[in-house]
Structure 1
Amino acid sequence: MRRFAPLALSAAALITTLVQAAPAVAAGSVPGGGHPAGGHRTEVLELVARQTQTTFIDHGDPGTSQGDELVLAGDLLRGPALFGRFGEVCTLTRVGPEPDSFDQQCVGTLTLPGGDLTLQGLVSVTAAGPGEVTVAITGGTGRYRTAHGVIEAVNTSETETRLTLRIIL
């Protein structure tokens, strides 16, 4: 069985593994946000999470085991510009039954201009990697104080993850 490898969330995990290189920059609003009551809008942000610090904490039995943790931190880029930063902690909640497979519960915060967004989700990993990852936006502060939505993540390298934030405000 392989050791719990540092995975981006990038985070979240989350933020964590999808496809291709990051788009330069895109942000927009979609009126209505799919809510029949109206009044809500969806803001879409395309960012790149670049890990700058990663620590693996091996709890319990040596090697991959329930309770192990991965602590991640890094920068958020919008195009080539620094746009914010992130921090995330992922805890192994299930190991196996297949070799190199596990689930990790990830919680994190994205610090953006105007406020923070919080995220959470269960990320399943197989021998092929985590695949496509979607985690929930669970809240926020400042201009994001009413935020909810989703973050879709695609790893583009061992240290970078393309994030698509669909923020309902």
Structure 2
Amino acid sequence: MRVFKHLALSAVTGLAALLFCAPSASAVAGAGRGPNPPGEEILQLVAKQTQGGLVDVDGSGGPSLGDEYVLSGNLFRGSTAVGTYSEICTLTRFVPTDQFDLQCASDLALSQGQITVQGRFTVTTAGPGNVDLAITGGTGRYRTAHGYVHAVSVTETETRLTVHLIL
């Protein structure tokens, strides 16, 4: 079961993880893919997990439907701290035994408001791979936000986030 916990925690570090030493990250527009759609802003962030825990709903010590992973940490742009994040992921499927699905709800708290993010992804023995989650809204400057967040696990506690933000 250690492998399961390890994969799950690294998978969700960020907003889901996020969390999860990435290359220097700074706000960029359209990194290598041509012009941005009108109104799109791209933020490059690194999420570094500072806390994480598992809620084992049936007490079995192994994976079961409804188990939750609760994570939080700091967001960086380059070496500058720019905010925090929190995330709750629920195990929604684990068949076959070497793969499972996580449904995650996350928030990115930045100086000008919060961005909320949600989605589902599959984790295999190779890890979570690349994860795309929907931006579902926000507060403050981000109150009309939509778009998506692309997350790539770098380590067990760091995740590179590319926030495709449309306001």
Is this a same-fold pair by TM over 0.5? yes
- Using the alignment, how far apart are the partners of 1:21 and 1:77 within structure 2? 10
- Using the alignment, how far apart are the partners of 1:155 and 1:32 within structure 2? 24
Unaligned runs of 5+ in 1: 34-39
- Using the alignment, how far apart are the partners of 2:11 and 2:114 within structure 1? 19
Decide whether the 8 Å contact of 1:76 with 1:85 is kept in 2.
yes
Map of 1:98-113 to 2, 5 A cutoff?
99-113=97-111
Q: Percent identity of the aligned residues?
A: 49
Q: What root-mean-square deviation, in Å, do the aligned CA atoms of Structure 1 and Structure 2 show?
A: 2.1
Decide whether the 8 Å contact of 1:103 with 1:124 is kept in 2.
yes
Decide whether the 8 Å contact of 2:17 with 2:49 is kept in 1.
no
Q: How far does residue 62 in structure 1 lie from its aligned partner after superposition?
A: 2.9
Query: TM-score of the superposition, structure 2-length normalised?
Result: 0.87
Verify: 1:88 aligned to 2:87, yes or no: yes
Q: 1:42-97 CA deviation, whole Å, 9 max, x = no partner?
A: 01000000000000111114301111100000000000000000000000000112
Decide whether the 8 Å contact of 2:11 with 2:127 is kept in 1.
no
Query: TM-score of the superposition, structure 1-length normalised?
Result: 0.86
SS in 2 for 1:53: strand
Unaligned runs of 5+ in 2: none
- Using the alignment, how far apart are the partners of 1:64 and 1:167 within structure 2? 34
Q: 1:12-39 CA deviation, whole Å, 9 max, x = no partner?
A: 124478xx83333123489873xxxxxx
Moved more, 60-69 or 41-50: 60-69
How many pairs were matched up?
160
Structure 1 residues 102 and 8, CA gap change in structure 2 (3 angstroms):
closer
